[in-house]
Structure 1
């Protein structure tokens, strides 16, 4: 299985292709998306598209990585490094919950599950760019807070997994099963707040 990490290319044409591919993949899924349609929506020729991306799978992988990287940077930028742990966790929880129930995350989650057996590298890319990367960053912050005495954690890796699962409470399942697709800021904030309260009740120093 090819688990090579995609390399995000830069440039106006590349950005056009990634934006167009994102639109088509979210609308048509992986199997239903055609390179012709992606090129058309992107406003480039197929030759230009193939000069940057070798095939549809590689393009899908790079769309995933670009979006997950953007989300990660956005959340990190909102966290004040000098803020109390509870406040920093609340910011992280809100950003994480919002992303988990977003149209992009939910659509890609379904696509990866549907294509898991035929194209396992798609799921591998999403796992490494999204859940795994987010877990590693969260574990790093939790470890730092524990070392400073703001949290009392023996198993940082497990605590990071637990925090992520708390951010999935209620809304994620409803979104995954198609019960609802739109959630208010108040609903997202409630899940984030309760996640932090529960987490701090267990690990607060």
Structure 2
């Protein structure tokens, strides 16, 4: 049975379940999150929760996918293609770095790594909703920038991957290893600026 066939994504209680699950997963991780606690925090019965999500893994994947989709939609809504390519890339980098260093993204990353062997589908789902979806959205913009002559790129998917990896410099690594868990707007913009400078040094037309 596929995830799409299992989940009915309608109704006020569906949103309540997602909000409750997000809160519990962030506090207790995947293994520590109990269905009873998720139902309590969401303010629904266990029967209602199971009517939407018969498997806790499906619920976790839905939470991760929903958050990643919201982040992607936010970035795309902010992009003004009439702006200079540097401005668009800077805006994108700031948003990507902000998400990567967020408590949510860090906790989901830890859960996916910790559960990789037992539940590899968790990591696959997060990868598809996060890194893979992000690469596709960035690729779409890069293609237009190449067509307009603002960038010169032979391998757009690879360039999109490189842009995403440059966004991980310094702050993401510090977050992953628990060296730092709060990041200022100035720190994020500094990394974003260096990301864009290096990217344009390689691909600027």
Does the CA-based 8 Å contact 2:106-2:176 persist in structure 1?
Answer: yes
Give 2:105's aligned residue: 105
* Residues 51 and 3 (structure 1), Cα distance of their counterparts in 2 relative to 1, 3 Å cut: closer
- Quote the offset at 1:157 in angstroms: 1.2
- Quote the offset at 1:204 in angstroms: 0.5
Does the CA-based 8 Å contact 1:143-1:156 persist in structure 2?
Answer: yes
Matched, 1:141 2:141: yes
Moved over 4 A (4+): 2-8
1:21-60 equivalent positions in 2, closer than 5 A: 21-60=21-60
Which runs of no fewer than 5 residues in structure 2 stay unpaired?
none
1:120-139 equivalent positions in 2, closer than 5 A: 120-139=120-139
CA distance in 2, matches of 1:163, 1:8: 36
Secondary structure at 1:110's aligned position in 2? helix
- Quote the offset at 1:71 in angstroms: 0.6
TM-score of the two chains, using structure 2 as the length reference = 0.96
Deviation readout 1:92-119 (Å, 9 max, x if unpaired): 0000000000000000000000000000
- Quote the offset at 1:28 in angstroms: 0.4
* Residues 44 and 7 (structure 1), Cα distance of their counterparts in 2 relative to 1, 3 Å cut: closer
CA distance in 2, matches of 1:108, 1:74: 19
Does the CA-based 8 Å contact 1:3-1:124 persist in structure 2?
Answer: no
Give 1:86's aligned residue: 86
- Quote the offset at 1:61 in angstroms: 0.6
Give 1:151's aligned residue: 151
TM-score of the two chains, using structure 1 as the length reference = 0.96
1:186-205 equivalent positions in 2, closer than 5 A: 186-205=186-205
Considering only aligned residues, what root-mean-square deviation do their CA atoms show, in Å?
1.5
Deviation readout 1:61-117 (Å, 9 max, x if unpaired): 100111001111111111112211111111100000000000000000000000000
Secondary structure at 1:118's aligned position in 2? coil
CA distance in 2, matches of 1:99, 1:144: 24
Give 1:117's aligned residue: 117
Give 1:74's aligned residue: 74
**Equivalences, count:** 204
Secondary structure at 2:15's aligned position in 1? helix
